[in-house]
Amino acid sequence: MRKELEGKLVRRWPSWFDMNGDPRHTLMSFGFQHRDGWFGLLWRLCERLEPLVAECERETGERFEVIEVKQKLGGLRFHTSHRTKAIRKCIEAAQAESFDTCEICGLVGKSLETPSTGHRITC
């Protein structure tokens, strides 16, 4: 994803995304490893997660952190330091939505089988 779009997410949720962290602890130092089309999907996911993360941090005393965001086999992967059942459900819903969202432009797309990558979404 373009650095400009990454910056918007990082500025909005700075404690979640450690872009300068040690790669032994977070893979966010490699950036968001997908195309620009999923920016809106990620923004909506983070907005839905915000109250759930606040509650989780209050209850556990642990800081929530996103460890990696990438595309794998045509779908979004959003890995975190820890999660509750509610957080997991939100992430799973966004991951499912990614299979119907073009990674390039963000429009509703369709799955196409490709020999090299498996399923890929195109508009």
The range of the structural domain enclosing residue 64 comes to 3-122
* Phi, psi dihedral angles at 65 (to 5 degrees): -145, 140
pTM, full prediction? 0.89
The pLDDT tens digits for 65-110 are: 999 999 998 899 999 999 999 999 999 999 999 999 999 999 987 6
C-beta of residue 80 within 8 angstroms of C-beta of residue 87: yes
Counting the structural domains of the chain, the total is 1
The pLDDT tens digits for 47-70 are: 999 999 999 999 999 999 999 999
* Phi, psi dihedral angles at 6 (to 5 degrees): -55, -45
